[in-house]
Amino acid sequence: MGYVAVKGGEAAISESIKRLRLTRLRERQIITVSSIKSCLRGLVDRVMSEASLYARDLAALAIKQAEGNPEEATFLLRAYRGTLPRKYYSRLVTTDDMAIERRISATFKDIPGGQLLGASYDYTHRLLDFSLETEEISDMEKWLEHYSKIPPAPLDSLPQKMTRVADIVRQEGLLAAKTEDNTPPQDVTRQSLSFPAQRSERLQALTRGETGAVTALGYAAIRGYGLLHPTVAELRVGNVPITIDYPLEETSDPGDALYIGRIQVTEVDSLIPSIKETAPGKKEINFCIGYGVCYGQNETKAIAMSVLDFCLENPVPGSPVHDEEFVLTHVDPVEATGFISHLKLPHYVTFQSELDSARKIRLGGAHEQL
């Protein structure tokens, strides 16, 4: 691909950047980073997931700088992430230790520990709430004061560890038993993705994927090709603890881990029916599992990720959503937006070459007609 150097545009570029700032400030309104973090929770969670950096303050700052454009905010945050030193790898995080805020299942009505609806838009009317136009700080304080008077649920009624719904299906022999896989995971932020990819690489690429792209491909897997219909065995939203090895000793005991904080994640187990022919004329239905996990409360993406996880674990010839190279190459937000955006750069040489070729062909055709 050929490009030609463009000179003399520095002044114009400088004025363009000033114009960008003017566009942001011309209404004489400023939104604070703390307001974005508090009030635009869904957007903050999305940007953190796509940038693969759990930092709410920095995600909110990127959103402000990008004027709410998620693709630009993700680009900014992932670029900043690339400047950070990698000092430690955390110990294995197990979601069995999750402090659950929301937990639902679409497979069974009654599940051990119960369905915890938590905070969700799923149960709201999708109608514009015009009262938000005139919402005041005093309204907020009054509502919070009223809510604080509602007796909280007893702590002992909310178990920290709950039986996984998938294990219930597994106990009936309808889901394959768990197998230990101690293969060291590949870090796609340190080593470029190559194909065929390990499952650890696929899961990383999917959780970093652009939310709309992951959702669209997950939807295509269900509707467009009709090869599967998943059921959400369990969706969990909650906080998981992060620990690292004790840094002052070369070898440390398991009990020497240091707790450095917790992060909110959304985790999904999806069950997909699998039909196998056990004998001529006889078929058996079992279930396979698809897995998804994302930063923050990012439920639609986590569900779609679980669908694509299953698809990539079970490739089907001729189906693009079962092709790991097709899926993983196209869901990355920075790669995709970067390539599309590069089309705005000068392509003078390549286009002139194409234009010359088109003119010669047309001229040759005209001579043949003569």
Residues 77 and 100 in one domain: no
pLDDT at residue 57, as a whole number: 96
pLDDT at residue 151, as a whole number: 77
pLDDT range class, residue 2, cuts 50, 70, 90: very low
pLDDT range class, residue 258, cuts 50, 70, 90: confident
pTM for the predicted model, two decimal places: 0.88
Number of domains in the chain: 2
CB 332 within 8 A of CB 202: no
Measured CA to CA, the distance from residue 218 to residue 224 in angstroms comes to: 10
Q: Is residue 45 part of a domain?
A: yes
pLDDT range class, residue 71, cuts 50, 70, 90: very high
Residues 65 and 170 in one domain: no
pLDDT at residue 275, as a whole number: 76
Measured CA to CA, the distance from residue 330 to residue 180 in angstroms comes to: 31
pLDDT at residue 256, as a whole number: 76
Distances in whole angstroms, Cα of residue 319 to Cα of each of 139, 175, 302, 347, 364: 53, 25, 21, 34, 42
Residues 70 and 99 in one domain: no
Measured CA to CA, the distance from residue 11 to residue 15 in angstroms comes to: 6
Residues 309 and 173 in one domain: yes
Using alpha carbons only, how large is the chain's radius of gyration in Å? 26
269-300 confidence digits (pLDDT tens): 999 988 776 677 777 788 889 999 999 999 99
pLDDT at residue 4, as a whole number: 46
82-119 confidence digits (pLDDT tens): 999 988 888 888 888 899 999 999 999 999 888 999 99
Q: Is residue 87 part of a domain?
A: no
pLDDT at residue 368, as a whole number: 56
pLDDT at residue 161, as a whole number: 75
Residues 113 and 40 in one domain: no
With a cut of 60, say whether residue 157 has pLDDT above it: no
119-150 confidence digits (pLDDT tens): 999 999 999 999 999 999 999 999 898 888 87
pLDDT at residue 83, as a whole number: 93
Q: Is residue 181 part of a domain?
A: yes
Measured CA to CA, the distance from residue 121 to residue 300 in angstroms comes to: 12
Burial class (CB in 10 A: 0-12, 13-18, 19+), 24: middle
29-67 confidence digits (pLDDT tens): 999 999 999 999 999 999 999 999 999 999 999 999 999
Measured CA to CA, the distance from residue 369 to residue 327 in angstroms comes to: 48
Residues 28 and 117 in one domain: no
Distances in whole angstroms, Cα of residue 202 to Cα of each of 53, 236, 279, 327: 18, 21, 34, 9
Measured CA to CA, the distance from residue 15 to residue 113 in angstroms comes to: 60
Task: Mean pLDDT check: name the lowest of 214-223, 227-236, 253-262, 336-345.
Answer: 253-262
Which among 9, 23, 164, 174 is positioned nearest to 98, based on CA atoms?
A: 164
With a cut of 80, say whether residue 309 has pLDDT above it: yes
Tell me the backbone φ, ψ of residue 212, rounded to 5 degrees. -65, -40
Measured CA to CA, the distance from residue 296 to residue 264 in angstroms comes to: 5
The mean pLDDT value for 241-252 works out to: 77
Residues 99 and 185 in one domain: yes
Measured CA to CA, the distance from residue 47 to residue 210 in angstroms comes to: 9
Q: Is residue 125 part of a domain?
A: yes
Residues 174 and 263 in one domain: yes
Measured CA to CA, the distance from residue 370 to residue 367 in angstroms comes to: 5
With a cut of 60, say whether residue 8 has pLDDT above it: no
More confident residue, 88 or 154: 88
Tell me the backbone φ, ψ of residue 33, rounded to 5 degrees. -60, -40
Residues 28 and 124 in one domain: no
- Tokens 């995971």 correspond to 185
* Plot region of 78 (φ>0 → left; ψ -120 to 50 → alpha; else → beta): alpha
Residues 252 and 288 in one domain: yes
Sign of the Cα torsion 98, 163, 114, 308 reads: positive
Encoding tokens for residue 124?
């709201």
Residues 124 and 273 in one domain: yes
Q: Is residue 88 part of a domain?
A: no
170-202 confidence digits (pLDDT tens): 888 888 877 877 888 888 888 888 889 999 999
Q: Is residue 356 part of a domain?
A: no
What is the span of the domain harbouring residue 108? 95-129+160-331
Residues 284 and 313 in one domain: yes
Task: Give the E-state strand segments of 280-363 in sequence order.
Answer: 282-295
pLDDT range class, residue 153, cuts 50, 70, 90: low
Q: Is residue 354 part of a domain?
A: no
Q: Is residue 257 part of a domain?
A: yes
327-360 confidence digits (pLDDT tens): 999 999 988 888 888 888 888 888 889 899 888 8
